[in-house]
Amino acid sequence: MDFPDTISIFPLPNVVLFPQVDLPLHIFEPRYRDLVRDALEGDRMIGMVLLKADWGKDYEGAPAIYPVGCVGTIEKFERMEDGRSNLVLHGQRRFEVVEEIAGRSYRRARVRWAPMPSTETDESVRARLRACVIALLQRAGKTGPEEIWDSLPKEWSKLVNLLAFGLPLKEVEKMALLECRGPAARAERMIEILEFRLAEHDSRQRGGGGGESWH
């Protein structure tokens, strides 16, 4: 697949897309209707980026974004009678925003593409990640955590990216995971985050503080 130097970007305050992951989107704002229309007529690519914490001050303009994002391709598309639409974006590759380019109703940027990462698996890292995820599921009261783990993708990069996308982590934590260069580094960082969260949860439980919700 060819990746262009300039892409359309779709900033959201609560979504971090990862390669190999599907993201459903509901499109209703006029500027993003324009974005989707142009993408469908072109390469079908949309770059997802995360808005920084103070995005609400200038949402109708161009609030600040994190410079690292993930491009996806439109895999499914359904247009509604009132002009809104639903689509599924399939994550493809990480990028870094070099500069934004004006001239459209939506935001566009010149980007630098991240190198394609190695997919080699470190079995010791996989085992540590498995232990953290199962512990997380147990503390959330999920039944059959081992069976849930076994139902996840076996391919290393897809497993890591799906967990990074789907686990109940803060957006800034997911952003830190996206910034990692490849699944091995991403898995190590995820383990650090999960071990801290698990230790924090256990400490609260021992102290009778009631703990936090893991759902």
Q: Across residues 97-114, what is the average pLDDT?
A: 96
What is the rounded distance in angstroms from the CA atom of residue 135 to the CA atom of residue 201?
Answer: 11
Q: Across residues 126-135, what is the average pLDDT?
A: 96
Confidence of residue 167 (pLDDT cuts 50, 70, 90): very high
Q: Which residue has the tokens 């830190």?
A: 176
Q: Of 63, 54, 56, which Cα lies nearest the Cα of 11?
A: 63
CATH of 6-113, one of 3.40.50.10800, 2.30.130.40, 3.50.50.60, 1.10.357.10: 2.30.130.40
Q: Is the pLDDT of residue 118 over 80?
A: no
Q: Is the pLDDT of residue 161 over 90?
A: yes
Domain boundary assignment for the chain = 6-113, 123-207
Share of the chain above pLDDT 70, in %: 93
Q: Which residue has the tokens 């980007």?
A: 111
Q: Across residues 135-145, what is the average pLDDT?
A: 91
Q: Across residues 103-110, what is the average pLDDT?
A: 96
pTM above 0.75, yes or no: yes
Q: What does the pLDDT read at residue 208? A: 60
What is the rounded distance in angstroms from the CA atom of residue 22 to the CA atom of residue 75?
Answer: 9
Q: Is the pLDDT of residue 122 over 60?
A: yes
pLDDT digit string, tens, across residues 1-41: 899 999 999 999 999 999 999 999 999 999 999 999 999 99
pLDDT digit string, tens, across residues 173-208: 999 999 998 899 999 999 999 999 999 877 877 776
Q: Give the CA angle between residues 9, 14, 20 to the nearest 5°.
A: 65
Q: Across residues 155-160, what is the average pLDDT?
A: 95
Q: Is the pLDDT of residue 210 over 60?
A: no
Q: Per DSSP, which regions of 66-132 are E strands?
A: 68-79, 85-101, 107-113
Q: Across residues 159-186, what is the average pLDDT?
A: 95
Q: What does the pLDDT read at residue 103? A: 92
Q: Is the pLDDT of residue 211 over 50?
A: no
What is the residue-averaged pLDDT of the chain? 91
H or E element at residue 46: strand 45-50
Q: What does the pLDDT read at residue 117? A: 80
Tokens of 98: 């070099």
Give the burial class of 17: count Cβ atoms within 10 A of its Cβ; 0-12 exposed, 13-18 middle, 19 or more buried.
buried
